[in-house]
Amino acid sequence: MTISAEHYDELVAIRHHLHENPELSGQEFETTAYIKAYLENLTIEILETGLKTGLVAQVGQGEPVIALRADIDALPILENTGLPFASKNAGVMHACGHDLHQTSLLGAAKVLKQRETELNGTVKLIFQHAEEAHFGATDVLATGILSDVQAIIGYHNMPTLPAGQIGIREKGVMAAVDQFFVTVTGIGSHAAYPHEGADSIVATSAIVSSLQQIVSRNMDPQRAVVVSVTHMAAGNTWNVLPDTAIFEGTIRSFEQADRALAKQRFYDIVENVANAYGVTVDIDWILGTNVTYNDPELSAFLLDETSRWHDDVVVPELSNAGEDFASYQEQIPGVFAFIGSNGPGSPGLHFSDMTVKDEAIPVAVDYYVNNTFALLEKLGQ
C-alpha cells in the first residue's frame, strides 16, 4: 500500500467531508475551493484554465506528459443511506461515488508530490466538473491545457464489485449514450367521441411498443444495445383526449454501426407508426457521450502492470452506463478502469442508498500512483 495509516485516516476524513457537502454539475464552487486549498497546501501548482469550477494541477516536469482524472460533481438525489456523514445539502447526493474519485486523486497528488524527484516527466491532475451533465470533459479539453498529454487514465468505482477489486479491459468498456425526446401531436377530442380526433395517447403507446423491436429484430444478439423509454406524459383529466403526448428515453450501444442503425430505425419507427395513426411527431435527438474506448495497447500494458502489485485484478463486464471520459479518449490514448467499492448485492450507482467503503481508497490511490510511474517509464523509452 502506497499510503501510510496516518494518510489513510486523513483521506477518510476528506471523503466524508466531500460526501457531506455535494454540489451539482457546474455548481462545484465550494468543492473546487476545497481541492485547491488542499493542493496549494502541498505546494502543488494549479494551472490557469479559466474554468469556473474544477481545476487542473501539475507535478513533475518535462516529458513525457500524462494525466490523471477524477470527477467531482454530485447528483440531484435525496440521500437515503443513514450515514453519519450523509449529505447536508438536501436533494443532492454523491450517489455515483465521485467523492471517492476525488479523494483518491488528492491522495495520489500528495504521494506524487512527496516523490516528485522520482518522476521522469509531468503529471497533470484533472479534477473535472460536470461529468453527470456530460460537458465537463469537453470544457477541460477546450482550454487546451491537455494538448501535450500523451496518455490519460481514470477510473469509476463500482459498488457492486468487492471493495478494492480492479477491473481493466481493452476497447469498449462503457456505452455510447444517446437521448431522445419526442412530442406526438394529434387532435384532441371528447373521450366519448374519439373518432372526431386523432388520439395522441394510443399513437404514443404503439410507437413505444414498436421501439422494442429495434434491439430484438435489428441488432446482433451478440452485441449489447439497450433502448429504454423512461418517461411518458399526456393529458390532465379523465374525459378529454389530449392534443399532445410526450415520451423520452435513451439508447446505449458499444459499436458505431449499431449506434447509427439504432438511430435510423428509431426515426423510421416513430415517423411511420405516427403516420399510420394520423398524428405528427417532433423528434429531439440529443447526442451524448461516445463509447468509453480503452486504448488496446495501453490497456494490455496497465492490466499487466497492475497485476504485478495487486492480487485482485479482473477483466470486468461491460457497463451500459456512459462516461464523458470518452471525450478525452477521442484525443488522447487512455484507459478507464473499474475499482470495486462495496460488494455484490450492494445498491448500484445512482441509487439513493448507495454507499462505498473507505477500504477502496488505498487501492484507488495505488492505481493512480503506481500506474503513473509505469506509464512515464513506458512513454519515456
Residue 359 assigned as binding residue: no
Q: How far apart are CA 159 and CA 204, in angstroms?
A: 36
SS3 of 311-372:
CCEECCCCECCCCCHHHHHCCCCEEEEEEEEECCCCCCCCCCCCCCCCCHHHHHHHHHHHHH
The amino acid at 199: D
Q: How far apart are CA 60 and CA 56, in angstroms?
A: 14
Q: What is the pairing mode between strands 292-294 and 244-253?
A: unpaired
End-to-end CA distance of the chain: 27
Residue 96 assigned as binding residue: yes
25 dihedral zone (left: phi>0; alpha: psi -120 to 50; beta) = beta
SS3 of residue 9 by DSSP? helix
Residue 350 assigned as binding residue: yes
Q: How far apart are CA 88 and CA 256, in angstroms?
A: 42
Residue 156 assigned as binding residue: yes
Beta strands in the chain (DSSP E): 45-46, 55-60, 65-71, 122-128, 151-162, 166-167, 171-174, 176-185, 189-190, 225-234, 240-241, 244-253, 280-287, 292-294, 313-314, 334-342
Per the CB < 8 A criterion, the answer to whether 23 and 93 are in contact is no
Per the CB < 8 A criterion, the answer to whether 72 and 126 are in contact is no
Give the full edge-to-edge strand order of the sheet including 244-253: 225-234, 244-253, 176-185, 280-287
- Residue 17: in which H helix or E strand, if any? helix 5-20
Q: How far apart are CA 102 and CA 285, in angstroms?
A: 32
The Cβ-side half-sphere exposure at 243, using a 13 Å CA radius, reads: 0
Per the CB < 8 A criterion, the answer to whether 130 and 57 are in contact is no
Residue 98 assigned as binding residue: yes
32 phi and psi, to 5 degrees?
A: -60, -45
Q: Cite the annotated binding site by residue number.
A: 96, 98, 132, 156, 350
Q: Cite the annotated binding site for Mn(2+) by residue number.
A: 96, 98, 132, 156, 350
